[in-house]
Structure 1
Amino acid sequence: MKFAVLSGKGGTGKTLVSVNLAAVAKDSVYVDCDVEEPNGHLYFKPTEIETETVAIKIPIVDEDLCLGCRKCVDFCKFNALAAIVNKLLVFDDICHSCGGCIMLCPSNALTEKDKVIGEIKTGISEEVKVISGILNTGEASGIPIIKDLMKKTANEKRMTLIDCPPGSACIVMESIQDADYCILVAEPTVFGLHNLQLVLQLVKLFNKPYGVVINKCMESENLIQTFCIENKIKVLSKIPFESDLGAINSDGEIAAKSEKYNGLFSELLQAVVKEVEHETVTHS
């Protein structure tokens, strides 16, 4: 089973949920797809770390072969190419590595070279395999790293928790494509409700089954719970807004390892597995 954990914005508790579900599942895989700011490893503190680079292909020009026709410049919608005084310039930092300019070049003046945009670190934390993607600062897109992360989990038989990037952009779409179920984490505020609605549109677009975890719950009126009831959305769990949990989390510790919170995350995992099994039976 693969579970993708999403939130409409950062700071909602997405990593809190992902890390603790992977911990209570024990023999599991945790995948940190928040490649701009990965921090799941701070909780797991993995050992036996293996690192591999992720590279994309970018164009390189042979000035002797270039005809100055500007076909490549006119094609590039990202303005990664410019012809100045009959000299073709390539701006690596904004190239999206689509390869179209190379295909269009009538004189084969453009070829490809590798550009490293980040890395993937794989390690072990007790029974949990921890895989983290890291995008180099200033790079245009982390999608190539996400794709490599997903390839690494394609044949995994163990339960896999995918800690998605925040928001609902293309990089999030790439993270949830292979997920069996989506867990949407939201906090009970006006902004939390707005961002939940955005990410809800995304999972519906991909036709993924989903449920909601409400984080930072207090006894006052809960906007998220009301919204879920009105729209017949499954509330998987309500995580209390408690100083003890906040302290554990801010110290980089796994809350599920404490007696007080182990039951909370174990019950959440059971609820998610039950939902997936129900979906499987319903659609079989």
Structure 2
Amino acid sequence: MKIAVLSGKGGTGKTLVSVNLAAVAKQSIYIDCDVEEPNGHLFFKPVNIASEKILIKIPVVDETLCNGCRKCADFCKFNALAYINNKLLIFDEVCHSCGGCVLICPEKALLEMEKPIGEVQTGASENVTVITGILNPGEASGIPIIKKLLKDITDNKGVSLIDCPPGSACIVMESIKDADYCIFVAEPTLFGVHNLNMVHELVTLFDKPHGVVLNKCLDGENPAEKFCIEKGITILGKIPYDNELGTLNSNALISVREAEKYRDMFSSLLQTVTKEVTT
């Protein structure tokens, strides 16, 4: 069972929900797909970490074969190639490794070489296997790392929690495409509604079953709850605005391992999600 946890922006409690659901399960895998700023490992503090470099292919030019036709530069929509002063320049930092320039070169002057863009770390934290993707600063895309992260859990028969990047960009799409269920984490504000609507539209486009966890709930009107009712979105649970929970989270402590009341709360949430997935 692969459960993706999303939010329209950072700070809604996405990692809080992901980490605690993974920790409360009997056995689970936690996958941090927020490769630009992963922080799930700060909570789990995994041990016995194994690391694997992630490589992509980027073009290199054989200047003895290049005739300056510029077909490769014209093809590249990311402006990673330019022909200046009778020389082909390749800007690795913006190359998206599509390989199109190599295919289109009529002189076969472009070849491919491997370049590291980050790594995947795998470790253990009690009942949880923790898999973390880390993108090197300045790289154009984390999608190759996310592909590797999710490939590693293809055969898992237990619970896998996918902590997605915030927003609704292509790296989020890659993170949810094989998920069995999507959980939105939303704040009780008008801004929270805007971001909830953004990820709801994305998940609807992918035709994924989904529900919402309303975080930081206060007494009184909750715009996010109203939005869910109007849209017919299942409300999986509500997490109250809680100073103790906030303190544990800000200290990078896993709440379900610190207090029974939080273990009960997230166990109930996991049971609700499991029921949604299996019915």
**TM-score band (shorter)?**
over 0.9
Amino acid of the residue matched to residue 25 of structure 1?
A: A
Q: Which residue of 2 aligns with 1:180?
A: 180
Q: Which residue of 2 aligns with 1:235?
A: 235
RMSD between aligned alpha carbons? 0.7
Alignment of 1:75-224 (within 5 A): 75-224=75-224
Q: Which residue of 2 aligns with 1:270?
A: 271
Q: Taking structure 2 as the reference length, what is the TM-score of the superposition?
A: 0.99
Report the Cα distance in structure 2 between the residues aligned to 1:87 and 1:62, rounded to whole angstroms.
11
Report the Cα distance in structure 2 between the residues aligned to 1:263 and 1:253, rounded to whole angstroms.
16
Does residue 1:19 correspond to 2:35, yes or no?
no
Report the Cα distance in structure 1 between the residues aligned to 2:99 and 2:3, rounded to whole angstroms.
33
Report the Cα distance in structure 2 between the residues aligned to 1:226 and 1:165, rounded to whole angstroms.
25
Report the Cα distance in structure 1 between the residues aligned to 2:179 and 2:77, rounded to whole angstroms.
31
Q: Taking structure 1 as the reference length, what is the TM-score of the superposition?
A: 0.97
Deviations 1:176-229 (A, max 9, x none): 011000000000011100000000000100000000000000012111111111
Report the Cα distance in structure 2 between the residues aligned to 1:156 and 1:67, rounded to whole angstroms.
51
Q: CA deviation at 1:26?
A: 2.9
What SS does structure 2 have at the residue aligned with 1:21?
A: helix
What SS does structure 1 have at the residue aligned with 2:111?
A: strand
Q: CA deviation at 1:260?
A: 2.2
Amino acid of the residue matched to residue 277 of structure 1?
A: T
Structure 1, unaligned stretches of length 5 or more?
Answer: 279-284
Report the Cα distance in structure 2 between the residues aligned to 1:226 and 1:190, rounded to whole angstroms.
10
Report the Cα distance in structure 2 between the residues aligned to 1:223 and 1:85, rounded to whole angstroms.
58
* Identity in percent: 67
Q: CA deviation at 1:256?
A: 1.1
What SS does structure 1 have at the residue aligned with 2:233?
A: coil
Structure 2, unaligned stretches of length 5 or more?
Answer: none
What SS does structure 2 have at the residue aligned with 1:179?
A: coil
